[in-house]
């Protein structure tokens, strides 16, 4: 009888102990990293830098409409993105008193919310002859400068050859800047949003020699 009672007591203890066993504690895993902000296209938004502007924007210069003639024969060199890298042409006698070039900013993409200001100094054989300024933004991928430049201004007679180049300064204005309020000639921004490396094609102009006088 005593053994029977002992067995019942032990069994009850086992049951009681099992009822008070502590449930295993769940240790929370590492918090998931926040997902990148998604644009409406479902792709992560990437902040623009001035390097993006340098890669996408260029300045192209060509012979202006007022100086075009069947007598002027030119050649152009373009890159794999069809951007003008070099323009050269020859001018036969009689030489014109003026020779006008026109320039424009061109981009491979749009900058709808970030206006891009481009200013340029026009050099003829390293001599500054004019300055240009314009702004690219909205849905535009082309922004012409507002005037043509006479590259023969200051010459008493036509030289044998001249090289026209543009020194550029490009500013990426803060996102959300109202395009209508931008003064391209006076706009400013922080140094990390300014570049002097945007490509601008040179223009080589050769003046063909006059025919020798007949004996």
pLDDT mean over 144-172: 96
Residue 47 is predicted with a pLDDT of: 85
Instruction: Pick the range with the lowest mean pLDDT from 49-58, 103-112, 149-158, 206-215.
Output: 206-215
Average pLDDT on 77-102 reads 95
Q: Tell me if 143 sits within 8 A of 103, measured CB to CB.
A: no
Q: How far apart are CA 45 and CA 88, in angstroms?
A: 42
Find the mean pLDDT for residues 48-56. Answer: 95
b/e 133-164 (16+ beta carbons within 10 angstroms → b): bbbbbeebeebebeebbbbbeeeeebeeebeb
Quote the pLDDT of residue 45: 63
Residues 72-101: what's their mean pLDDT? 94
Please determine, for residue 204, whether its predicted confidence score (pLDDT) is greater than 80: yes
| Structure token pair of residue 8 | 């019942």
pLDDT tens digits for 64-84? 999 999 888 889 999 999 999
Residue with tokens 């002027």: 72
Task: Evaluate whether the domain defined by 50-207 bears CATH number 2.60.40.
Answer: yes
Q: What is the DSSP string of 38-90?
A: B-TTSSBP----HHHHHHHEEEEEEE-GGG--TT-EEEEEE-TT--EEEEEEE
CA 95 vs CA 117, 156, 158: distances in Å: 36, 12, 7
Q: What are the tokens at 30?
A: 């590492």
Q: Residue 46 — very low, low, confident or very high, per pLDDT cuts 50/70/90?
A: confident
Q: Reply yes or no on whether the pLDDT at 20 is more than 90.
A: no
Whole-number pLDDT of residue 42: 52
Q: Delimit the domains of the chain by residue range.
A: 50-207
């Amino acid at each position: 009888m005593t053994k029977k009672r002992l067995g019942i007591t032990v069994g009850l203890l086992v049951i009681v102990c099992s009822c008070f066993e502590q449930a295993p504690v769940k240790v929370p895993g590492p918090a998931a990293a926040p997902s990148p902000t998604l644009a409406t296209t479902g792709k992560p938004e990437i902040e623009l830098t001035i390097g993006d502007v340098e890669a996408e924007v260029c300045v192209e210069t060509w012979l202006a409409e007022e100086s075009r003639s069947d007598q002027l024969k030119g050649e152009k060199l373009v890159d794999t993105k069809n951007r003008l890298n070099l323009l050269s042409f020859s001018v036969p006698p009689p030489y014109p008193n003026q020779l006008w070039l026109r320039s424009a900013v061109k981009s491979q993409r749009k900058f709808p919310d970030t206006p891009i200001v481009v200013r340029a100094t026009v050099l003829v054989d390293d001599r500054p002859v004019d300055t240009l300024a314009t702004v690219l933004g909205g849905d535009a991928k082309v922004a012409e400068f507002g005037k043509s430049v006479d590259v023969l201004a200051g010459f008493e007679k036509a030289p044998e050859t001249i090289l026209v180049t543009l020194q550029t300064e490009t500013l990426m204005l803060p996102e959300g800047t109202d395009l209508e309020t931008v003064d391209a000639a006076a706009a400013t921004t922080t140094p990390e949003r300014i570049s002097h490396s945007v490509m601008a094609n040179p223009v080589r102009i050769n003046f063909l020699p006059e025919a020798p006088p007949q004996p």
